[in-house]
Amino acid sequence: MFLCFSLYFSTKHPAPISTSGSSCTSGLEDVEKGFGEEEIEYWRRKMQEKTAEVDRLGHEQKRLKALLLRSGSTDVAEYLSTRGCGMLDETIGWFATSLFKSAFIRRAFCLHLFVLYTWIIFLLWWISTRTHA
């Protein structure tokens, strides 16, 4: 389905997005009256780039789905659950999700890192003073 984006960006008379080809050409003719050639060409190139990007992403999605089907599993969650370490993966997934969701857990984790690195620096300092004395 090709979306024809209207290039008319006036705040007084915004043009709706049209999905039919015939109204697209008449909309472009109206737009050409209000803009210079350079700007029209710029927006046409942008529209072609976006259309090409959509096509490329569609092909990539089809390719990835084909690879997934070829692997024998149709459900991504099922495929991901069959590989890895099971309980360890679930624990790490829960912890990583908690770090993103909870500000308290993020702060506690940062505090834990601060204490850990402070302790390591102290031990290194203590060992260096014991060996040089």
Using CA atoms, how far apart are residues 86 and 69, in angstroms rounded to an integer? 22
pLDDT in tens, 59-101: 999 998 888 777 766 666 666 666 666 677 788 888 888 888 8
3-state secondary structure of 4: strand
pLDDT in tens, 99-126: 888 899 899 999 999 999 999 999 999 9
Using CA atoms, how far apart are residues 124 and 19, in angstroms rounded to an integer? 68
Residue 22 has pLDDT above 60, yes or no: no
φ and ψ at residue 28, rounded to 5 degrees:
-65, -35
Per the model's pLDDT, the better-predicted residue between 41 and 13 turns out to be: 41
In degrees, to the nearest 5, what angle opens at C-alpha 72 toward C-alphas 56 and 81?
Answer: 95
